[in-house]
Structure 1
Amino acid sequence: MAIVVDSSAIAAIVFGEADAPALSAVMRAHAGAVQVSAATVLEARMVVQARQGDAATTDLDRLLHSVDAEVVAFDDRQSALAFAAWRRFGRGRHAASLDFGDCISYALAKSVDVPLLYKGDDFAQTDVSSAL
């Protein structure tokens, strides 16, 4: 089964946070069936670069390569799903408080109908399935 990965999970792994082993285990278990939006890769690169510099960006790229992640282009269908997610679950509209990047990951997961790997409680308050 495939999974979609959110930037929150990618950043947690790169930063070596407490839940990194569990998150990376899920990614490894789905190697070859990991999908991530191109926009999510950009967001994750920006976050890790800002906090830890070039080495962290290299670690992120290695992580995605190690699980043979498919970087998926953000298309019109995903744009519509992301907008619908923001209207339903967006910050200031719902307790899930999804931001721009969250809506992109949500949209990809919904468009391919697979679970989403993420860190935190925001997606748990939506109708997307968890990969954990």
Structure 2
Amino acid sequence: MKNDVAVPREKLEWSLLGLRLGVFIVLLMWTLDKFVNPEHAAIVFKAFYSIPELSSGVSYLMGGLQLALILSFLMGFQKRWVTLVILIMHLSLDLGVIWSLYGSLGIVKPSVFRSVADVSSDRDVVFAP
């Protein structure tokens, strides 16, 4: 008994392109934030990743590297390695947010939204919960 499912190659290629395009759009917004508002990127890194200082230059450098990476992902260049790096990058985003919200004991910390606003001092609210 064979458990293979035959999918036409053309449909599979279009599906994978759609998947790559969706991931690209999400990560593009994250990348553009580093160029458009580097101060916001510094606030996010301080609040969610405990990185105290992030200069504008470092934000631009990270944004440039990330843009090259996500463009490579979209075009399918070095699929195995670029996809692995994209997965690790996305996982770090998710784990950083989860750690900030739940902490080490698994208890929700509702003050995280207030602490992010405190870090941003007189700026507008960083994000809405």
Name the structure, 1 or 2, with higher relative contact order (CA <8 Å, separation 6+).
1
Structure ranking higher in helix proportion: 2
> Which of these two proteins has the greater Rg computed from alpha carbons?
2
TM-score by shorter chain over 0.5: no
TM-score under structure 2 length normalisation: 0.26
